[in-house]
Amino acid sequence: MRKTFTLCSLLLICLLTFAQNPCPQVIPALQQWKGTKGTLALPAQGNIVINPAHEASLRKTASILADDLKELLEWNYTITTGKAKKNDIYLSLSQPDEQLGKEGYVLAIDQKVSIEAPTPQGVFWGTRSLLQMLHNQKAQLAKGLARDWPEFPNRGFMLDVGRKFFTLDYLKQQIKVLSFYKMNEFQIHLNDNGFPQFFDNDWSKTYAAFRLESERFPGLTSKDGSYSKEEFKELQRMAMDYGVNIIPEVDIPAHSLAFAHYKPEIGSKEYGMDHLDLYKEETYRFVDALLDEYLSGEEPVFIGPDVHIGTDEYNKKEAEQYRYFTDRYLKYVASYGKTPRMWGGLKWLPGKTPVLAEGVTVNAWSFDWVDPEVSVKEGYKLINTCDTYLYIVPGAGYYREFLDHKWLYETWTPWMMNRHQTLPVGTPGVLGGMFAVWNDQCGNGISEQDVHYRSFPAIQVMGERMWKGDNQQAVPFADFEALCKTMPEAPGVNLLGRIDKETLLVEEATLTGKDSLITTLDEVGYPYTVSFSICPDKKPNISGVLFQGPHSTIYTNWENTGRIAFTRDGYAFTFGSFILPEDKWTDITIKGDWKGTSLYVNGKLQERLEGRKKRVYNPKWDRLESMPIQETLVFPLKQVGDPINGFKGQIKQVKVTQE
């Protein structure tokens, strides 16, 4: 018996002695991992040490890493140069490595953490993996060696800011999110327009916007949201620091109603004013001058290497002139030293007029509009942006609300160009993939955070598929999905409004209408429940602020009606069926999810904001169409009351929960 016990003990000791740490869980997964024994616990106060020979190249990466350690873990790290010591984080450049390429890196964890790569970009990606490891392993790093590199060089996200404005702050946060999951392209669709049937079938009333400041054409820039030239340059510079290439898109010659609103003479009378007239010299003078404004000079507004000119969905009757226009502006952009990009359209608009292929990148988006096999043979580079698989159009009813994450993880690859064509693995010219969010339904009430709720899980799964490739044998989808839900959006980013636990924010307070309380939470996202008891004064402020956060505000006595309302993203929503009694306690509960918002009064459902539709007649197709209105709310919590025009009365037991 004793011999058996001794042998078992020795076997256990041997197993423990030779056990190797399993591969750390990060998104995207590591390409290679060789685990050793033990863990490294980095201190809360430490050093990021840069190889002195590479300080100029890696100083910004070190600075971002220090900031992120502070945001993620509340650690304080000092940046120095020299030789790394125990418990330091060491950053250095290495010799070129064919396997690592331009983005790969080596991450070694032993007595210290060392990140080395042939390029600064690779070192930066190594810091993203380190941050994820620290988060997922509760700061106890498993010792071992990782070699990591992407399967595809181009991994992107396109956001339509033309039909819905997104603030500069939102775009900056998206850059951090993309970067955290090693997505390296962010295409910003700067102009577009709505559908005329929702605007009295009148092109002059139809919503259209161009979001970038123009000094050559004063009045062209949208008045309900835009970016100055300096803001846009700052955004691009920030993105470069985070390893993300911003691709500005000026969409021509269709989707161009914003330009025709400004200069009606260049709009097509035959095909609709959202089409530019391809036969007028004034059209070419305008487009030349507009693009030159952003491409010319020693410090152009479009800083990065790629510029997108749109070129999708023009009327098929004008194939030859469309091809002439497209060829002209591909060459025009290239003449400024930029790589031109366009949406695929040459299959739908075939003709004899040649269109530049060398050095041109095409978003392969539709089986009907682009033939990937022909495109690569002609010399185009392709980004898989298949509409069937990779388009999100919130609230539209066609395409998707959410990408099919499970199918993408288990089945999709960038070689699957559309439902009918899958190119052979390794086909030259296929650079990667990009998913897109289109905001077709102008005025439908969608919020920035509604879009993020849809796009964030897509960023995670697309980052995984295009960096790591197929990993379902090692990590089944259920495990990957569970990991996704535990991961932060990025250090310092919480657009989803996640909270850790049920919280009592306010026990009891009296507000005068000229004061406020600051709470411990900014906001709470879907799905949530916020409950409180409230007793308004007999003479309440008109539209008095009850709750305020970074993205939304809740009011009492909205417009002197006694009703509860909320605003966000330029929209106002009212609970119209209930008037809050004055000088009397009422129990209020508000529940929100990605579909709508519910008001409960004294424990009973009073009203649900969901399902309202704008119905219109479309004469083109002789049918009724509808636009669902998105009446959602990420609940604001940062401030109760307001020092200028706040709620007057008593409030107590403000409780917050999130499912």
Residue ending a domain, choose from 125, 148, 171: 148
The verdict on residue 9 lying in a domain is no
| Same domain, residue pair 308 and 436 | yes
| Same domain, residue pair 129 and 173 | no
| Same domain, residue pair 137 and 281 | no
| Same domain, residue pair 135 and 55 | yes
| Same domain, residue pair 101 and 190 | no
The verdict on residue 257 lying in a domain is yes
The verdict on residue 12 lying in a domain is no
What is the rounded average pLDDT of the residues 250-271?
97
The verdict on residue 514 lying in a domain is yes
| Same domain, residue pair 88 and 178 | no
pTM of the full structure: 0.95
For 127-140, the three-class secondary structure string (H helix, E strand, C coil) is: HHHHHHHHHHCCCE
The verdict on residue 493 lying in a domain is no
Each as own residue / partner, the long-range contacts of residues 572-578 (CB below 8 Å, 24 or more positions apart, any chain) are 573/445, 573/597, 573/609, 573/631, 573/633, 575/599, 575/606, 575/607, 575/609, 576/607, 577/606, 577/607, 578/606, 578/607
Q: What pLDDT, in 10s, does the model give residues 306-364?
A: 999 999 999 999 999 999 999 999 999 999 999 999 999 999 999 999 999 999 999 99
Residue ending a domain, choose from 148, 171, 194: 148
Q: In this structure, what are the phi and psi dihedrals at residue 605, rounded to the nearest 5 degrees? A: -65, 120
The verdict on residue 452 lying in a domain is yes
What is the domain-level CATH number for residue 139?
3.30.379.10
Q: Using CA atoms of 226, 360, 125, 180 in order, give the dihedral in degrees to the nearest 10.
A: 40
The verdict on residue 425 lying in a domain is yes
3-state secondary structure of 400: strand
| Same domain, residue pair 381 and 470 | yes
Distance CA 411, CA 416 (A): 9
Half-sphere exposure of 367 (CA within 13 A, CB side): 9
Residue 137, Cα to own-chain centre: how many angstroms?
A: 26
4 pairs with which residues across the strands?
A: none
Distance CA 413, CA 572 (A): 42
Q: In this structure, what are the phi and psi dihedrals at residue 479, rounded to the nearest 5 degrees? A: -70, -40
What is the domain-level CATH number for residue 250?
3.20.20.80
What is the domain-level CATH number for residue 509?
2.60.120.200
Q: Which domain holds residue 44?
A: 20-148
Give how many domains the chain has, as a whole number.
3
Q: What percent of the chain has pLDDT over 90?
A: 95
| Same domain, residue pair 478 and 329 | yes
Q: What pLDDT, in 10s, does the model give residues 128-139?
A: 999 999 999 998
| Same domain, residue pair 464 and 513 | no
The verdict on residue 644 lying in a domain is yes
What is the rounded average pLDDT of the residues 535-555?
97
Residue ending a domain, choose from 486, 521, 542: 486
| Same domain, residue pair 390 and 428 | yes
| Same domain, residue pair 429 and 451 | yes
| Same domain, residue pair 179 and 142 | no
pLDDT, greater one: 147 or 621 = 147
> What's the pLDDT band for 576 if we cut at 50, 70, 90?
very high
Average pLDDT, the chain: 96
